[in-house]
Amino acid sequence: MASGVRRIRYAAWVIRVMIAGAAGRMGQAVVAAVAGAEGMEAVALADPTLADGFADVASAIAATRPDVSVDFTQPHVAFANACACLEAGVHVVMGTTGITDDQRTEIRRLAEAGTANCLIAPNFAIGALLMMRFAAEASRHMPKAEIIEFHHDQKLDAPSGTGLRTAALMHGDVPIHSVRLPGFVAHQEVILGGLGETLTIRHDSIARESFMPGVIRAVREIADRPGLTVGLEQILFGDESAN
């Protein structure tokens, strides 16, 4: 009897997670991170290239009714995935970059109209969030700045979501230069220039594991963040200023 009670309480507490893009570079890391995290379970792997997964998020939702979808797919499918999830009452943690402003507006509308919430986070690495915060602060005092972002050569979008987000948080017009070469994971330099001096703020993700603590934190907290949240910094630092 006692063990039955424990089992019911445990079952109610486990967060049921779908991973969209589960076969991809980021998706595989998310599958491993969810498997190693307390209080959550991967109930659906959605990726058309997986023989033993679901071909799309709609069929995965219908079969498994997940609580949260973690999306690391591709810019041209992530918006439709998010809409399908929000309309079905599934929270979305969106790591895929390249979402347009119009798409973001529609995602916000769906998240505010329904019961499911959405986080769009161009970068889940704590060091990258700090880099963006320091760059925003520095640009108040050194308004001339440029960004160089470096990624692996399979990345589909340029400039990167992190580069665009950093520029949006900084003062002034900040040009972004994109380097795409094998060997890189995700790196960014923000260079600020003043009279006879420069300041460089650099962040390096040297492995995809760097993003996982942030992803897991977002999965835990998305149910308590009504509507659309933009940027993991609002969950980590309680920063409401840039939503």
Q: Does 27 bind ligand NAD (CB under 6 A)?
A: yes
Query: Of 15, 18, 21, 33, which lies in the binding site for ligand NAD, with binding defined by CB under 6 A?
Result: 21
Q: Does 59 bind ligand NAD (CB under 6 A)?
A: no
Residue 132 backbone phi and psi in degrees, to 5: -65, -40
151 as an active site residue: the answer is: yes
Query: Of 117, 123, 166, 188, which lies in the binding site for ligand NAD, with binding defined by CB under 6 A?
Result: 123
Residue number closest to ligand NAD, CB atom:
24
Q: Does 95 bind ligand NAD (CB under 6 A)?
A: yes
Tell me the closest approach of the beta carbon of residue 57 to ligand NAD, in angstroms: 6
138/193 Cα distance (integer angstroms)? 10
Q: Which C-beta is closer to ligand NAD: that of 29 or that of 142?
A: 29
Query: Of 69, 72, 117, 212, which lies in the binding site for ligand NAD, with binding defined by CB under 6 A?
Result: 72
Residue 238 backbone phi and psi in degrees, to 5: 65, 35
Residues in the chain: 243
Tell me the closest approach of the beta carbon of residue 142 to ligand NAD, in angstroms: 26
Asked if 16 contacts 197 with a C-beta cutoff of 8 angstroms, the reply is no
Query: Of 24, 66, 159, 163, which lies in the binding site for ligand NAD, with binding defined by CB under 6 A?
Result: 24
Q: Which C-beta is closer to ligand NAD: that of 59 or that of 198?
A: 59
Q: Does 64 bind ligand NAD (CB under 6 A)?
A: no
Peptide bond into 159 cis (omega under 30): yes
Binding mask 149-188 for ligand NAD (x = CB under 6 A): ------x------------------------------x--
155 as an active site residue: the answer is: yes
Tell me the closest approach of the beta carbon of residue 160 to ligand NAD, in angstroms: 7
Q: Does 32 bind ligand NAD (CB under 6 A)?
A: no
Which residues are annotated as catalytic?
151, 155
Please give the residue ranges that form the binding site for ligand NAD (CB under 6 A): 20-21, 23-27, 46-49, 56-57, 72-75, 77, 95-98, 121-124, 155, 186, 211
